[in-house]
Structures are given as structure tokens and as C-alpha cells.
Amino acid sequence: MAESSPTARLAVLGSPIAHSKSPALHRAAYARLGLDWEYTAVEMTGDRLPAFLEGLDASWRGLSLTMPLKQDVLPLLDEVDELAQLTGAANTVLFEGGRRLGFNTDVGGIVRSLAEAGLEVARTAIIIGGGATAASSMVAIAELGVAHVRVLLRRPEAGAKLVDLGRSVGLIVDVDHLGALAHAGPADLVVSTLPGGTDTGSEVPAELVSSALLLDVAYAPWPTPLAKWWIEGRGRVIDGSGMLLQQAFLQVRIFAGGDPAAVLSDESGILTVMRSALRS
């Protein structure tokens, strides 16, 4: 285990942040590991982030980042991992040796949550939305073997960066207006990165509901308007709680072991207590 203060401090930063389940997840994990670590939630915006980072002392071990900070943090870091560099988004900061190290665990969180739902290989996909989570989704679906992806946006002209990202990981990418969802054909996977409660304003074809697993990264309120189409059509749908759990688990590996690939002792037990915390 990487050396750190016996009472290391960590936090999740974002806005809004009061609803975050990250403190409960992380506290459960560190208690299971026997670490007396503090993990809190801090309301934070991008303009305040530089001063906040400068004000942290040596007791701080790391940070989890959510909207709107995953991209704002990049120029403030000393080093970023390959996934953070590729997606242009870091959701994790590790303080080690006086340096700020950035990681993206959203990609791994998506892949692991889909595997838990029984989807480990896919060929066609649809991504709804164009923010940092959409970028992570693009890389994640490439890991599943997807060859062709459609990106649906309210403003298709804003999709250039996602197109470039998709092509860089070997995908054929088409961008269309969100309204094209009403005419979408069958697919293996649909990933919605829209905020919870957002209505796409489109009907969803029955053949898409019956063919595709829907991962809606929202989890509150649930079900989302989009998820209702899958539920009413008896399709396969999972909310974002699994992604939240799995990306947090990879963060625990980083904070406790220094690397998202560092295998910790009793990982099954850690995941069990984290799941319990997520449900409570």
C-alpha cells in the first residue's frame, strides 16, 4: 500500500454535490480496509478549483471529481494517465510525492458495470449526449469491440471532438440530432449521458428497446423518461449506480494502492460493503 497520512483526507468535489453517494461508498471501503481516513463532499466550481488545490496541505491524499470539474482540472495536474489524456477528462486526483496525478476511472467503471449486466462484447452502439461522460463512454465501448457508434446531440455541430475521439480509438462515428432517436434501428447498446430527468422529446422504436441494453448513467430520479421506454417495453436497462460503484472502487485502488490496477486485499469484501452503502 502506498504511504500516506494515517488520517488522510479525501473528498468529492462538484456542483451540485450534496446528493453525492461517493462519501458513503468510500467511507465503507476504507473502514473495510482498516484505514481511518476522512472522506467528505465539497461544493466546488471550476473558477474556485485552482485556489482550492493550492490551499491543500500534506494531509490530503486525493480527490474525486464530478461535474463540472473533470475537464477544468486537467491544466492543474502534473501528470495524467492515458485514459484521462485520451478522453480529456479526469475524475480522480492523487496527491503523491508533492505531485498531482490525474486518472479517469469512468471508462473502467462503465466497462465493469456493463460486464456485470452481462454485456462484455458489442458491435453497434448509440451514445446520447456530448459531455465528459460521453467521451468516457466512447472509449469504453471501443473496449467492448464496438465498430460503429451513432452520437445523438441537441446540437450536432458540437460533436466534432467526440468524432475525433471515436476515430482515434478505431470507431466509425456518425453524429445526428437527438430527434433521430425516434427513427433509430436496432443496436447492441445505448448509453445515455443526459442528466437525470432530462426528456429526449422522442419516442423510442420498439426494435431498439428489444435489441439494445440501455445504460442510463443517471440514477436519481429513477426511472428517467428514457428508461421508462425500456421498462415499459420489457427491455434490458441498468441505471448509473453500477457505474458509480465501479468507478469509485477503482478510485479506492488508486487512493489506497497508488494505481487503478493495484489489487487490494479482500476486494470482494470491499465491493460488498460498497454495494450495501450504495443501497442505504
Handedness of CA 119, 165, 219, 106 (dihedral sign): positive
User: Rounded to the nearest 10 degrees, how much is the dihedral formed by the CA atoms of 128, 132, 135, 136?
Assistant: -110
User: Rounded to the nearest 10 degrees, how much is the dihedral formed by the CA atoms of 126, 128, 134, 135?
Assistant: 50
Query: Which residue has cell 452502439?
Result: 125
Return the C-alpha cell found at 105: 476511472
The answer to whether residue 228 is catalytic is no
Confirm if 20 and 43 have CB atoms less than 8 A apart. Answer: no
Return the C-alpha cell found at 75: 491544466
Secondary structure letter of residue 181 according to DSSP: G
Return the C-alpha cell found at 276: 450495501
89: β partners = none
Measure the CA–CA gap between 249 and 253, rounded to whole angstroms: 7
Secondary structure letter of residue 262 according to DSSP: P
The residues carrying an active-site annotation are 70
